[in-house]
């Protein structure tokens, strides 16, 4: 067996977690990542028949039975992932009953996956229906997006349009817009269900006064989605108290649609 720490998916996971911490998105143990893996990729590095222990997931997702996930641990600091990945990360397979996860590697200190694992799995289920190539669900606490939820209308069309108007690339990067949830108690199945429902129509879901969920085909795409939205929110927070003299018009956004071959979410542009 090859050393799993050299696996491309492991290297990228460690780099991404480290970069998210460096961006200030994941203070302390804030935030979590789950990465869907193919069995062939895993079996090159692990004996998939050896189960270290079985962990109840606290939800039922028979659609994901037999699927493999690399996931961050509960209570684990993102800054430590690069130094002790075998403690701060775990590789699990969803059991045949859809209600347990079989630990194949990691959580070496007896730890467990993130408390928001149910929310991740629910979002994976919905995103896979929309895009079979979806592989990542990522949650973090970017400061400007978080600040924006205190001062901006949480209406999804208004929130999305403001972000699109802050930076030319926004409508190109997330033409499906941003969905928004009002404040809800985190770590519960209720917020997981609500987030998964929002994931049906957008890859970005803002949790008001908390953070953001992103989904994508790989870690780079998902990181880039959040990074772009956060940059737009930063610009908004810098100018929100000022009188606007210029903006990106709907006509200009339609030109961006044509130039880059994207389609803005129906009803979001005039």
Partners of 91 in beta bridges: 70, 105
Q: Which residue has the tokens 């606290």?
A: 58
Helices (H), 23-155: 39-43, 85-88, 117-130, 143-151
Partners of 206 in beta bridges: 180, 212
Catalytic choice (102, 116, 156, 234): 116
116 included as an active-site residue: yes
- Is the dihedral angle over the CA atoms 129, 131, 135, 138 positive or is it negative? negative
CB-CB contact of 123 with 199 (8 Å): yes
Reduce the DSSP state of residue 142 to 3 states and report it: coil
Helix orientation angle between 143-151 and 219-239, rounded to the nearest 10 degrees = 50
Pairing of strands 68-72, 32-37: antiparallel
CB-CB contact of 205 with 115 (8 Å): no
Residue numbers annotated as active site:
116
């Amino acid at each position: 067996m090859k050393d799993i720490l050299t696996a491309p998916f492991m290297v990228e996971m460690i780099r991404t977690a480290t970069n998210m911490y460096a961006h200030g998105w994941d203070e302390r143990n804030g935030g979590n990542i789950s990465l869907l893996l193919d069995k062939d990729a895993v079996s090159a590095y692990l004996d998939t028949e050896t189960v270290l222990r079985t962990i109840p997931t606290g939800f039922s997702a028979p659609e994901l039975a037999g699927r493999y996930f690399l996931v961050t641990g509960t209570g684990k600091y993102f800054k430590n992932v690069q130094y002790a990945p075998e403690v701060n990360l775990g590789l699990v397979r969803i059991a045949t009953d859809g209600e347990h996860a079989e630990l194949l590697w990691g959580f070496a200190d007896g730890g467990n996956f993130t408390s928001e694992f149910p929310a991740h799995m629910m979002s994976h289920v919905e995103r896979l229906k929309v895009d079979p190539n979806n592989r990542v669900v990522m949650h973090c606490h970017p400061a400007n997006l978080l600040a924006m939820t205190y001062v901006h209308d949480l209406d999804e069309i208004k929130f999305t349009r403001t972000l699109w108007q802050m930076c030319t690339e926004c409508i190109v990067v997330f033409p499906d817009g941003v969905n928004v949830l009002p404040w809800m108690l985190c770590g519960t199945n209720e917020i997981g269900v609500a987030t998964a429902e929002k994931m049906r129509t957008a890859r970005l879901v803002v949790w008001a006064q908390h953070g953001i969920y992103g989904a994508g085909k790989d870690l780079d795409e998902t990181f880039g989605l959040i990074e772009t939205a956060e940059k737009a929110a930063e610009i908004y927070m810098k100018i929100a108290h000022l009188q606007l003299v210029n903006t990106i018009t709907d006509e200009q956004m339609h030109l961006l649609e044509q130039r880059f071959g994207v389609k803005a979410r129906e009803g979001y542009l005039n």
